């Protein structure tokens, strides 16, 4: 029942994403720089809520636009109705619906769906990860210099040592290809599918990574914080990889030269 609800909710949100894509929709700005929310975000969120609350009205919900809908429940649905909103608002088809399901503090299921590319990623703890119902696995690269990486940059720059620009500069000066797609959920899924060998970002929210990080782990990859400790969606820094380049990538992020 939980899996069925997750799949239905993800598809319902994606239907709204498709309905609004490349149309004339309303855009407003939330607090901060380049932090838009569109009419489509709200419509997708409403559609997702409708499915989840119909099937499990007593479950906790955490969603990017609505915030927390607190309930006394061991289950929490962590939702990004459209991850990659700036891409979406500019007609760039790298955006998705992302929903993770947490039980007793652990993510047990996740779905990420980009209907514009017809790619539906799914994972359940202990059952592996899939893309359009076909099993996926991470890449086999063993060195960062041979890898293709992904990252993202916060719109409010983090002026810290080994910040986003400093790490990026170290990598690109050594000729490492680093992509910035604009959707952390898809970055993670593309690591899981072996397209990227690693992904790192300094500042994410729970809804950005709740589904994607489980998909990476279930595809055989590794996900940690910047210290190499077990990852939690409630802290900002994330490093996800095929596992084979993980320690080297962590070292670079934390100040070592490549």
Q: Is 196 part of any domain?
A: yes
Tens digit of pLDDT for each residue in 161-172?
889 999 999 999
- For residue 152, the model assigns a pLDDT of 95
Q: 92 with 207, same domain?
A: no
How is residue 123 written in tokens?
């994972």
Q: How many other CB atoms are there within 10 angstroms of residue 127's CB atom? A: 12
116 shares its domain with 200: no
Summarize pLDDT for 193-235 with one digit per residue, the tens: 999 999 999 999 999 999 999 999 999 999 999 999 999 999 9
| Structure confidence at residue 238 (pLDDT) | 98
Let me know whether 88 and 107 are in one domain: yes
Are residue 107 and residue 211 in the same domain, yes or no?
no
Q: What is the pLDDT of residue 100?
A: 98
Number of structural domains found in the chain: 2
What confidence score (pLDDT) does residue 258 get?
A: 76
Same domain for 168 and 121 = no
Sign (positive or negative) of CA dihedral 79, 60, 10, 105? positive
**Does residue 258 form part of some domain?**
no
Please report, for the domain that includes residue 247, its CATH number. Answer: 3.40.190.80
Q: Which residues of 40-72 are buried (b: 16+ CB within 10 A; e: fewer)?
A: bbbbbbebbbebbbeebeebbbbbbbeeeeeee
Task: Specify the pLDDT at position 156.
Answer: 72
The pLDDT of residue 34 is 60
For position 158, what pLDDT does the model report?
63
Q: Which of 87, 104, 135 is the last residue of a domain?
A: 135
Q: Among the three residues 105, 135, 165, which one is the final residue of a domain in this structure?
A: 135
> What CATH number corresponds to the domain at position 30?
3.30.540.10
**Residues 183, 33, 117: CA angle, nearest 5 degrees:** 20
The residue segments making up the domain with residue 32 are: 2-135
Q: Quote the pTM value.
A: 0.95
Are residues 173 and 127 both part of a single domain?
Answer: no
Q: Which one of 135, 162, 180 terminates a domain? A: 135
Residue ranges of the chain whose pLDDT lies below 50: none
């Amino acid at each position: 029942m939980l899996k069925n609800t997750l799949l239905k909710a993800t598809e319902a949100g994606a239907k709204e994403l498709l309905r609004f894509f490349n149309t004339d929709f309303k855009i407003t700005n939330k607090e901060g720089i380049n932090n838009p929310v569109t009419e489509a975000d709200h419509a997708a969120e409403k559609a997702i809520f409708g499915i989840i609350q119909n099937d499990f009205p007593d479950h906790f919900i955490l969603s990017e636009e609505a915030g927390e809908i607190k309930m006394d429940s061991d289950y929490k649905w962590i939702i990004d109705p459209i991850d990659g909103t700036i891409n979406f608002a500019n007609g760039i088809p790298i955006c998705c619906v992302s929903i993770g399901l947490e039980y007793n503090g652990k993510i047990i299921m996740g779905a990420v769906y980009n209907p514009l590319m017809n790619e539906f990623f799914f994972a359940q703890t202990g059952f592996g990860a899939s893309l359009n119902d076909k099993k996926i696995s991470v890449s086999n690269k063993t060195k960062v210099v041979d890898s293709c990486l992904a990252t993202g940059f916060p719109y409010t720059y983090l002026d810290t040592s080994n910040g986003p620009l400093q790490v990026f500069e170290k990598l690109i000066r050594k000729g490492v290809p680093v992509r910035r797609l604009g959707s952390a959920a898809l970055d993670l899924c593309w690591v899981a599918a072996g397209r990227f060998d690693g992904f790192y970002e300094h500042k994410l929210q729970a809804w950005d990574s709740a589904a994607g990080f489980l998909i990476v782990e279930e595809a055989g990859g590794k996900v940690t914080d910047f210290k190499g400790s077990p990852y939690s969606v409630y802290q900002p820094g994330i490093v996800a990889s095929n596992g084979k380049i993980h320690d080297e990538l962590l070292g670079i992020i934390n100040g070592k030269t490549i």
